[in-house]
Amino acid sequence: MMKISVKDVTREIKGNIILNNINLEFESGKIYCLCGHNGSGKTMLLRAIAGLIRIDQGEISIDHKILHKDMDYPPEMGLIIETPSFFKYYTGMENLLYLAEIRDKISKQDIIETLKRVGLDPHDQRTVAKYSLGMKQRLAIAQAIMEKPDLILLDEPTNALDQDAIIQFKNIITEEKRRNACIIIATHNQQDIDELFDEKIYLNSGKVERVEKND
């Protein structure tokens, strides 16, 4: 059972407090929603948990190991933050094969299966330059889940997805939850996937305004 603790986390940029004394806990086997309007701090909080930005005060730990002290990044993490950049002149399959080489954890067959899960054809010879926005988003979801990480952080994952893709996405995150992943999704389209959340965390001006648990 993995546990993430965000304790008294504050981050300032140029005199603006972007994250204001955030205290939250996340655990495996649950799906969390970070909700709030534009600029409320959802992406910054995801970046902080991912180890992609430094924080000015407080600490973030994963299973009691402190980020930026005991480790640089969460050890097993799948991520979509803003528009992912793929190689335009590679196919979807080639992009994922390239990314999978970094950790050398999964096989070509695993990638084929992941592409099918997100509704992309593994044998599609088109390059990413010819993909629609929704296809790129499906590929981004595929790269985030393909290695079966313990922690999945998704910023606006349903952007550009059509209704069929949203249904597939819901099935995927339900399966990932069953596999015991901890899934944190930042979105303002929460109605797309509302019934799946175990907890909704409302951010406002960098603060946690309220938390709703779905028991």
Residues near 16 by Cβ (< 8 Å), separated by ≥ 6?
A: none
**Binding status of residue 134 toward ligand ATP by CB under 6 A:** no
Calpha distance 148→140 (Å, rounded): 14
Closest by alpha carbon to 182, among 58, 84, 62, 21? 62
Q: Are 143 and 101 in contact (CB under 8 A)?
A: no
Count residues binding ligand ATP (CB under 6 A). Answer: 13
Residues near 193 by Cβ (< 8 Å), separated by ≥ 6?
A: 33, 158, 166, 169, 170, 173, 185, 187
**Binding status of residue 39 toward ligand ATP by CB under 6 A:** yes
**Binding status of residue 18 toward ligand ATP by CB under 6 A:** yes
| Smallest separation (angstroms) from ligand ATP to the CB of 6 | 14
| Smallest separation (angstroms) from ligand ATP to the CB of 207 | 11
Residue from 22, 35, 41, 159 that binds ligand ATP (CB under 6 A)?
Answer: 41
Interface mask toward ligand ATP for 162-201; x: CB under 6 A: ------------------------x-x-------------
Q: Which two tokens stand for residue 186?
A: 């930042």
User: Strand, coil or helix: what is 139?
Assistant: helix
**Binding status of residue 159 toward ligand ATP by CB under 6 A:** no
> 85 or 171, CB closer to ligand ATP?
85
| Smallest separation (angstroms) from ligand ATP to the CB of 173 | 19
CA 168 to chain centre: 16
**Binding status of residue 158 toward ligand ATP by CB under 6 A:** no
Q: What residues line the site for ligand ATP (CB under 6 A)?
A: 13-14, 18, 36, 38-44, 186, 188
